[in-house]
Chains A and B, each alone.
Chain A
Amino acid sequence: MNKSLRDHLLARHAAATPALDALRRAALPPAEISWREFLLELFRPHRAAWRMLTLTWCALIAFQLLVAGPARPPAPTGPTPSPEAVAALFAQFNADEITSRIAQIP
């Protein structure tokens, strides 16, 4: 049976079809991507950068801890002073006297 020139041309190279099928399958884009794959692809190509960033943060935290020194003890919280103690405290400081002394300062 006579075929067109196109048919002859294609038949001439039909033996390459298995190789072409493999190339085609390798070129197909992925259909869907799961969240896990998305996160993996987010971090996997840049592992070195993420590693350096983590090391830098650890170094900064360690440096901060070393420089800050030991923690100061909290201020003691004693009972509330009585009104009599407060009055005695104020009696030690004569406000009028203090004001007049300030006025004498040149």
Chain B
Amino acid sequence: MAFTDPDLLQAARQYAPDAWDTLLKRHQLPLYTYAAELLRDDTAALDVVQETFAAAVRHLSSLRDDRKFASWLFGIAHQKCVQHFRRVRRDGDVFAPPPADDTPDDWPDPEASDPRVLLLRREAAEECFTLVAQLPAAQRSALLLHVLEDFSLDEIATITAVPLGTVKSRLHHAKRALRQLVEASR
């Protein structure tokens, strides 16, 4: 029987070491994948994961809702990535909202074109990742969170500490930019 995150957290609070081991093991690869794709630096991504784990163990008491452990963990990782960007790049805020205010009122994409369920062959996937890597960091972040952990728009807004409208805008621009990159590559 697979234990849920809340079950494992309850055991972890009672100093069960296996609980923490199982919990962190469940999220380690998605966390690393998010950091690596966002930062495009494998070494920095490992540092982000290490700091995220340490912060999670030390500050578990700040988690209000055990059901939101994954989004809380990714929120810590996202902040570590932002700090890394600020250390490495001092030219402006790479996570600034997009200049054009053409935020869609609703989420327009139907399930069929949703990248989360898009089934790909490996070659097509590699091509997709190459294009995703060309997106601006803010759009790449929103897209990765949406694809990797199936976070809702509200959760992505909480993780990245931006308004819901900004998340919608970033995803909208990300998909439009991907479409343009695909057409340009043909």
CA A17 to CA B21, docked complex, whole Å = 14
Report yes or no: A9 in contact with B33, Cβ–Cβ below 8 A. Answer: yes
Report yes or no: A24 in contact with B53, Cβ–Cβ below 8 A. Answer: yes
- The tally of residues in A whose CB lies under 8 Å from a CB in B reads 26
Kindly state whether residue A65 has any CB partner on chain B within 8 Å. Answer: no
Report yes or no: A8 in contact with B53, Cβ–Cβ below 8 A. Answer: no
Report yes or no: A2 in contact with B119, Cβ–Cβ below 8 A. Answer: yes
Chain B interface helix/strand/loop/mixed: helix
- State the B residues within 8 Å of A (CB): 15-17, 20-21, 24-25, 28-30, 32-33, 36-37, 42, 45-46, 49-50, 53-54, 56-57, 115-122, 125, 128-129, 144, 147-148, 150
Given contacts A12-B33, A31-B15, 17 further A-B contacts (CB under 8 A): A2-B119, A3-B125, A5-B118, A6-B116, A6-B147, A6-B148, A8-B128, A9-B129, A10-B29, A12-B125, A16-B32, A16-B36, A16-B46, A20-B32, A20-B46, A20-B49, A27-B53
